[in-house]
Homo-oligomer: A and B are copies of this chain.
């Protein structure tokens, strides 16, 4: 997710240096006197990926202090906290999805069993709150706890709607807003809080982050249907296997005629069969993809993501001064829809 511009070059170097510190804080926080804990937590650290959420914290922090003052220790801590929250959700997601691959490596549940993965997720979320409490800032503690409440609600709503072929767009958007986008919004709100922003600016920054997060999840769902597993680096096709309806499917089911709809429902029901061989699952996914592609349902989802990104950018331009950090955040929003992984 490179959003380098000539103008933002030194900013990118600063961000890179900050992210190194974030990873260090992350590792230090998880360090235990028990070897078995360190072994497992060490494995989780291979999950660091694009670090979108820490980037949102750090860049928002820079954007709201246009004097160019360096981000301080508290911003690095907050960035490590949101990364830890995110990683906890990844670890438990992989348990829920029976996923075998993540960040080009085996998942914790695949390597060490679901039980270790459940406990590791708990360990990560606990340390996220612990590290957060070291900020000694009750407002930030409330924001982080509030957003994890929301993330769980999104996950539970998604779980309650598995194999629900009448799932509508509003419910889909509620699910992804809560399970994914709320955390992106919180990243920006936390940075605004630490930067002492006015409430209306904090709200606008939250809206930027959350809108970008919705677009991010739409593209994630499109990639689960169309991506190349080797490129994306995680198990794909899980949404079909787990009966999760995403935007292209919802679009196709609501726009195709009765016969086309019946055909697609049949394909989806077949994909949900746990007894499918890998080969059968791949072939079924290809047929679903062809249906979605011919009906412009993939384009519909991508265009929705693009329009959300544009909305996020407009909000940012209206509320922040023009600085290299703001330019970076605008580029970051674009990269959400152009990414291939």
Contacts and interface: CB of A to CB of B under 8 A. Distances in A.
Interface stretch (A6-14, A70-78, A132-140, A328-336): A132-140
Interface stretch (A118-126, A260-268, A303-311): A118-126
The main secondary structure of chain A at its interface with chain B is: helix
How many identical subunits does the complex contain?
A: 2
A106 interface: no
A118 B94 CA distance: 11
Given A126-B148, A129-B145, A149-B130, A119 B159 contact: yes
A278 B160 CA distance: 32
B119 A96 contact: yes
A5 interface: no
26 contacts: A34-B156, A34-B157, A36-B156, A36-B160, A37-B153, A37-B156, A37-B157, A92-B119, A95-B114, A96-B118, A114-B114, A119-B156, A119-B159, A120-B156, A122-B122, A122-B125, A122-B152, A123-B156, A125-B125, A126-B148, A129-B129, A129-B144, A130-B145, A130-B146, A133-B138, A138-B141
Interface of A: 32, 34, 36-37, 40, 92, 95-96, 114-116, 118-123, 125-127, 129-130, 132-134, 136-138, 141-142, 144-146, 148-149, 151-153, 155-157, 159-160
